[in-house]
């Protein structure tokens, strides 16, 4: 597996659903493709399994703080791929009630532009340096 970047197509739309503790309940085909996992490998696992080490802890602290209060979080995320490599997305995460009545979170992602990736790569380096 390549350790390089896998760039989304403009038409790609990655979706995942977690329970209230961040355990994956569903992932669509695009999410599986970019993460490099099959759906059966993802379901039941913590969503943090795709967290890239370059992501600052503060970004996820803000995400969880926002969605646990019922808000909608938007931001740029660098995710790790199975076996190496990474991909950048612009994510929107929000709380919802599943059809079975349980509370959880939905994350929808689309392609981040080259300029956005460059900007957030530098910002996240600065944020991680302060951790």
Residue 49 dihedral angles phi and psi, to the nearest 5°: -65, -20
Report CA-CA distances (Å) from 86 to 33, 96, 130. Answer: 12, 28, 23
Q: What is the pLDDT of residues 32-49, one digit of tens each?
A: 999 999 999 999 999 999
Q: What are the structural domain ranges in the chain?
A: 14-123
Q: Is the pTM of this model over 0.95?
A: no
Neighbour count for residue 37 (Cβ, 10 Å): 20
Q: Residue 103 class from Cβ within 10 Å (0-12 exposed, 13-18 middle, 19+ buried)? A: exposed
Contacts of 69 (CB under 8 A, 6+ apart): none
Q: What is the pLDDT of residues 83-124, one digit of tens each?
A: 999 999 999 999 999 888 999 999 999 999 999 999 999 999
List the CATH code of the domain at 14-123: 3.30.450.20
DSSP character at residue 35: H
């Amino acid at each position: 597996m390549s350790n390089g970047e896998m760039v989304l197509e403009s038409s790609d739309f990655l979706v995942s659903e977690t329970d209230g503790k961040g355990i994956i309940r569903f992932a669509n085909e695009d999410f599986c493709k970019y993460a490099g996992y099959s759906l059966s490998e993802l379901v039941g696992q913590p969503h943090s399994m795709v967290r890239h080490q370059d992501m600052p802890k503060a970004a996820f602290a803000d995400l969880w703080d926002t969605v646990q209060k019922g808000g909608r979080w938007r931001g740029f995320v660098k995710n790790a791929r199975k076996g190496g490599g990474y991909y950048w997305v612009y994510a929107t995460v929000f709380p919802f009630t599943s059809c079975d009545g349980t509370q959880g979170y939905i994350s929808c992602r689309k392609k981040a532009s080259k300029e956005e990736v460059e900007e957030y790569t530098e910002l996240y380096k600065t944020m991680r340096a302060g951790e």
